[in-house]
Structure 1
Amino acid sequence: MKAQRLFSYVRRATDDYNMINDGDKIAVGISGGKDSLTLLYALNGLKRFYPKKFDVVAITVDLDFGIQDFSKIEKYCNDMDIEYYVVKTEIANVVFNERQESNPCSLCAKMRKGALNDFAKSIGCNKIAYAHHKDDMIETMFLSLIYEGRFHCFSPVTYLDKMELTVIRPLMYVPEADVIGFTKKYELPVAKSKCPVDGHTKREYVKNIVKQLNKENPGCKERFFRAVLNKGFD
């Protein structure tokens, strides 16, 4: 996928759901993975021609799993003239050692989002951009169906009352395959997570189910996505 196609996807999402307004200061949560790095590139590119003026900063919540090198990400941000912050935490120790969680992803995500929100608020951001793409939305719908018994997906735009922050998801129209292609084409500096459960989660299980269903029923993934959009968001 070329940059112009990425910008087109993101422009469509921001316009369809009014994600960006004049004067916004948007924090992009950078995990070090392909999705968040692609989102940062996209928003930085969108800034150059979008009619509404906004600023972008990048924030990494360091979970303290160990050897995750953020130096290349720092250079990536510097090259784009984007402020980059690393927020140190002890989330890994709390989740895996102190609490010994049987479902570590849930607590980890909650603590990570809390740290990101607090820091973003402290530096004057009014919005946070998450890097959920099209496949994430489909998989979230399946996770909800299988484990909660309801048809549900996160909203493209969510206002957090307590924090007075708005969460936006500008990659919602971008297929994961295009994110992978973009990451390789533009040689984005992925810093892979050292999380011990990475690749062994319920989401990974559902991802494989959707992949198999689409293989056996070509085009059904696109129909799943349309079903999510048609149902609307809570």
Structure 2
Amino acid sequence: MQLQKLLSLIRQAVDRYNMIAEGDKIAVGVSGGKDSLTLLYALKKLSQFYPKHFTVCAICVDLGYDNTDFTGIDEFCRNLDVPLTLISTQIGKIVMEERKESNPCSLCAKLRKGALVDEAVRLGCTRIAYAHHKDDFVETMLMSMIFQGKFYAFPPVTLFEDKNLRVIRPLMLVEESQVKGFVKRQEFPVLKSPCPIDGTTKRAYAKELVAQLQREHPGTKERLFHAITEGKIEDWALPGV
């Protein structure tokens, strides 16, 4: 995928759900994976011509796993002229060793979000951008239906009233395959996930389920995404002002 196509899809999502306001300072949650690096790169490029002026910074939460090298991420941000804040934590040890959670993903996500939100507030940010793409939306919806018995997916915009902060998801119209192609073309310094259960989670199961449905019934993923965007899910009506 070319940069022009990526920016077009992101701008469609931003405009449709009013994700960016004049003067915003947007913190991109950077894990070092392909999705967050793509979002950071694209938002920086978008900031150079978008009608509403906004700035971008990067926040990376170090989970505390051994041998995680953020050198490539630091260089990537410097080349983009984007300030990077690296938060050192022991979240990995807490979740996997001390708590030994049966569902570690939920607690890990909660702790990471807390660290990210607190740092974004400290930096004076008005938005946090998460790199959830179209596939993530569909997989989350399936996981919610299968494991929780409800129809739910990430809202395009989430409001934290007590923090005066909004979470936005500008990659929501971009497919994972498009992200992979873009990252390969750009040769981004993708950081391999240090998580010891990566690839064996409920999300990995949902991803394979979507792939199977897509193989057997072409167009399934697009129809599921349409059901999400048109399904009148609670919280989706929130304006992104």
Q: Same fold (TM over 0.5)?
A: yes
Write out per-residue CA displacement over residues 21-58 of structure 1, whole angstroms, 9 at most, x where no aligned residue: 11100000000100000000110110111000001000
Distance 1:125 1:233 in 2: 27
Matches within 5 A, 1:63-82: 63-82=63-82
Letter matched to residue 222 of structure 2: E
Determine the structure 1 residue equivalent to 2:238. none
State the TM-score, normalizing by the size of structure 2.
0.96
SS in 1 for 2:138: helix
2:159 equivalent in structure 1: 159
Instruction: Please list, as runs of the form range in 1=range in 2, the aligned pairs for 1:134-153 lying within 5 A after superposition.
Output: 134-153=134-153
**How many angstroms apart in 1 are the aligned matches of 2:96 and 2:154?**
27
Query: Percent of pairs identical after alignment?
Result: 56
CA distance in structure 1 between the aligned counterparts of 2:141 and 2:120, rounded to whole angstroms: 28
Structure 2 residue matching 1:100: 3-state secondary structure = coil
Aligned-partner Cα distance in 1 for 2:19–2:216? 36
Q: Deviations over 1:150-187 (max 9, x none)?
A: 11111000101222210000000000000000010001
SS at match of 1:82: coil
Equivalent residues in 2 for 1:76-225 (5 A)?
A: 76-225=76-225
The 3-state SS of whatever aligns with 2:66 is coil
- Return the offset for 1:220: 1.1
> What amino acid sits opposite 1:23 in the alignment?
G
TM-score normalized by structure 1? 0.99
Deviations 1:56-90 (A, max 9, x none): 00010000111121111111111111001100001
Which deviations, in whole Å up to 9, do the C-alpha atoms of 1:128-162 show, x marking residues without a partner?
Answer: 00000000000011001101111111100010122
Conserved? CA contact 1:154–1:233, under 8 Å: no
Q: Hey, what does 2:29 align to over in structure 1?
A: 29
Kept in 2, the 8 Å contact 1:126–1:166? The answer is: yes
Instruction: Tell me the amino acid that sits aligned with residue 14 of structure 1.
Output: V
Aligned length: 234
Aligned to 1:17: 17
Runs of 4+ deviating beyond 2 Å: none
Q: Is the 8 A contact 1:35 1:131 kept in 2?
A: yes
- Tell me by how many angstroms 1:97 deviates: 1.4
User: In the alignment, is the contact (CA less than 8 A) between 2:60 and 2:86 conserved in 1?
Assistant: yes
Q: Classify the secondary structure of the residue corresponding to 1:12.
A: helix
Show the counterpart of 2:237. none
Query: What is the root-mean-square deviation of aligned Cα atoms in Å?
Result: 0.7
